[in-house]
Amino acid sequence: MRCEVVAIGTELLLGQVVDTNSSWIGEQLALIGVDSLFQVKVGDNFGRMEATIRQALDRSDAVICCGGLGPTQDDITRNVIAAIMGVEMCRDDAIAAHIRDIFEGRGRPMPDNNLSQADVPEGATTIEQMPGTAPGLVCPVGDKVIYAVPGVPHEMREMMEGTVLEDLRRRSGETSVIRSRVIRTWGYGESALAETLADQVHNLDETGHATIAFQASGIEGIKVRVTAKANDVAEAEAIITAEVDLIRDRLGDYIFGYDEETMESVVLDMLHARGLTVAASESLTGGILSNRLTTIDPDMEIFRGAVVAPAGPADGEDGAIAAATAARDAIGTDIGISVIGPAVPDDHPPGTVFAGVALPDASHAVKVALPGVLSRMRSYAVITLLDLLRKRLD
């Protein structure tokens, strides 16, 4: 079964709102074995919306329309769907009463234009879950179906999980499942990764057991996504585990985490497991490292703080170690870390930085050249420094 996602809203086209809904919906469709080959965006224009949804129906069995269910003049998704169905709109008194109760429960009068949210195309049914004032819709069109859900993410997700996904599964008769695992790497270029894993990718293309895809993610490194489709979860997970094991054997410590793990979450978990604390010198990164670590460790149980000040007189790897040691001693932690720029930048290639780690019983430093303008280079420096600490902890 094929299901297309149509994200509705001029604000999406203008870049005022980032469309995270479509990516989430696509992920959920994959998990139930429903193919989603197209995802499109369209502005709040009746003619363009109708043409877009009709095109989606022509090439798919189901369409999920996300957005345009509010009470304002540009919220016309209901009307467009009615036109496609060839039916009139009718007022659902139960929905109207529910919307009124929501406003009264907030101690506010209901504006009259909110009643338009209770208008439903004839033949459509409303979705039981209704966390806001916008009801979702299930709209049959011949042997196909259009779902309409709000653009508000938490409202959309509740309706998808409560009704839409199960209805799609029932209609498709699909019993297979699709599962993925993301391998997160740092220090390996995308082309080098592809070359290293080329024969494995080729073998999977031949057998069809799974797929491997590469995604360059900037300061988050290169992601390797392994996806498998199987009769059940256990079979899919077994296929993925076997492929991930092969990749791990080839990439070694270039792999720093999996799925939703980040470099900072991995490092903090390692420090916690070892009962160690860390402090930083941020002469180059200016607090970026502290922000990323305290987002995960808000009570600063492991990351105890940072010194944001100019680097000392020492330069190069020795300077990075000296700054790390000074931060460790000043804040009283087990480990100190730092990343500094060269004292004389013209003596080094652009983007050169020195990362240092002062452990309880040893010190280490590396020289690396990082790409990008200063703001991006500083973010790369944070991950490079944390990766150095990760490898030394290993």
> Model confidence over 170-180: pLDDT tens digits?
998 877 778 88
SS3 186: coil
Tell me the pLDDT tens digit for each residue of 50-89: 999 999 999 999 999 999 998 988 999 999 999 999 999 9
β-strand pairing of 210-216 with 278-281: unpaired
Residue ranges with strand state E in the chain: 3-8, 39-42, 62-66, 89-91, 119-121, 125-126, 137-141, 144-149, 177-185, 210-216, 222-230, 255-258, 278-281, 303-307, 335-340, 352-358, 363-369
Radius of gyration of the chain (CA): 27
Backbone angles phi, psi at 32, to 5 degrees: -105, 10
pLDDT tens-digit map of 186-237: 988 888 899 999 999 999 988 888 999 998 888 888 999 999 988 888 999 9
Q: Please report the domains of the chain, with CATH numbers, ordered by start residue.
A: 3-172 (3.40.980.10), 177-258 (3.30.70.2860), 263-393 (3.90.950.20)
Strands (E), 220-259: 222-230, 255-258
Residue 205: per-residue pLDDT: 85
Residues 6+ apart with CB under 8 A from 387: 186, 187, 256, 263
Strand bridging mode 352-358 / 335-340: antiparallel
Q: Is residue 314 pLDDT above 90, yes or no? A: no
